[in-house]
Amino acid sequence: PPRRLPVGLGERTYDVVVGPGLLARAGGLIGPVLPARRVVVVTDSAVAPLHLPALRAGLEAAGIAILAEIAVPPGEASKDFSRLQEVLEGMLGAGVDRRTAVVALGGGVVGDLAGFAAAVAMRGLPFVQVPTTLLAQVDSSVGGKTGVNLKAGKNLAGAFHQPRIVLADTDTLATLPLRELRAGYAEVAKHGLLHGPLWDWCETHGAAAVAGETGALTHAVLESCRLKASVVAADEREESAEGGRALLNLGHTFGHAVEAEARFDGTVLHGEAVAIGLGLAASLSARLGHCSQEWPSRVIAHLTTVGLPARIADLPRRFTIEALMGRMSKDKKNRDGRMRFVLMRGAGDCFTSSDVPAEAVTALLRDEG
């Protein structure tokens, strides 16, 4: 049976529903939270042939009319203003009104793009997330951030727009390439490191989740969403400099630097960069005396077990220390020009720090690289 997690964000509480077989029951699950029984579905052209038929059948079985099905090309390039305009014109051209809901079927790209379209179309339409990547199920579909990229940087135009409901159908993950599944799992491991009991679970059952076992995936998604929702609820608009949403950046200061150096060309996926960032954050924490010297090897061992790169040396390419340091000193999450790291004392005990000496980071990268 599906599991339900009530999330209290934005003006209203909504449910994250997790489990197998949800697309076929989508109408029954979504219907009660919609103002009217009509929707537009936004997806990408890789996901559409795989999962749109089941969603369509699930909606139609409950008498929910689909006014339009809009598929954008797969990939990050679709998080773009001209694509947003196309989606908006498609929606309005299909006769959408203020009571028509926008349903996002796909990964984080579709969720961010369709969510932003829902936020701005007619000043705000009801929104439903049907995430089909592990990353989207455990991370991007919860928290209400939507948006597109600008030349000036990723996610620089956007809005907060919470969904009415999130349907995380674990069956959709069966068609996801293993590499994408593992990359999404890196965010589960991150949530585990922020919440001790989830980390213990990861060490025992994470491999089953990555192997596609439904029960393990359901637990991983549900507990990840629980952790993210509680962090977000305490700091919905990312106003806290110290704790709050900033903690979700664990592994991301290093991760973004690696990702930026790889230039989003597909050689390193976001989650893979995050996995390396988690390993480095643990190693940095040990060097600075915040955790035991054994802790980094335990973090790295788990990430390696599930098939993720966990050290810079695991990557197919080399990066110079200068390049990575340059990227980190320009990270958009920095305050007052200081690099900001999330460090750990152990699983479930993480904190942000803006006074890590640059020399310590350089020494770490020298010894690791």
Amino acid identity, residue 194?
L
Minimum CB distance to ligand NAD smaller for 58 or for 108: 108
CA distance 130 to 54: 12
Shortest distance (Å) from residue 228 CB to ligand NAD: 9
Minimum CB distance to ligand NAD smaller for 25 or for 79: 79
CA distance 207 to 301: 12
Minimum CB distance to ligand NAD smaller for 260 or for 286: 260
The two beta strands, 12-19 and 65-72, are unpaired
Shortest distance (Å) from residue 134 CB to ligand NAD: 8
Tokens 């390419």 belong to 317
Report how many helices (DSSP H) and strands (DSSP E) the chain contains, helices first.
13, 11
* DSSP category for residue 122: G
By C-alpha distance, which of 173, 162, 200, 155 is closest to 346?
200
Q: Is 63 exposed, middle or buried (0-12, 13-18, 19+ CB in 10 A)?
A: exposed
CA distance 53 to 56: 5
CA distance 280 to 363: 12
Shortest distance (Å) from residue 149 CB to ligand NAD: 8
Torsion of CA 251, 198, 167, 277, to 10 degrees: 10
Minimum CB distance to ligand NAD smaller for 110 or for 299: 110
Q: So which residues are the catalytic ones?
A: 123, 145, 187, 228, 238, 245, 249, 252, 256, 270
Minimum CB distance to ligand NAD smaller for 15 or for 139: 139
* DSSP category for residue 138: I
Minimum CB distance to ligand NAD smaller for 5 or for 291: 5
For the four alpha carbons of 272, 275, 279 and 285, in that order, the dihedral sign comes to positive
Instruction: Give the pair of three-digit tokens for residue 146.
Output: 């939507």
Region of residue 64 (phi > 0: left; psi between -120 and 50: alpha; otherwise: beta): beta
By C-alpha distance, which of 112, 224, 127, 117 is closest to 170?
224
Minimum CB distance to ligand NAD smaller for 125 or for 231: 231
* Residue ranges in contact with ligand NAD by CB under 6 A: 44, 46-47, 50, 74-76, 79, 106-110, 112, 132-133, 135-136, 139-140, 143, 145, 155, 172, 175-176, 180
Region of residue 38 (phi > 0: left; psi between -120 and 50: alpha; otherwise: beta): beta
Shortest distance (Å) from residue 226 CB to ligand NAD: 16
Shortest distance (Å) from residue 245 CB to ligand NAD: 10
Shortest distance (Å) from residue 336 CB to ligand NAD: 25
Shortest distance (Å) from residue 346 CB to ligand NAD: 25
Amino acid identity, residue 10?
G
Q: In this structure, are residues 132 and 176 in contact, taking their beta carbons and an 8 Å threshold? A: yes
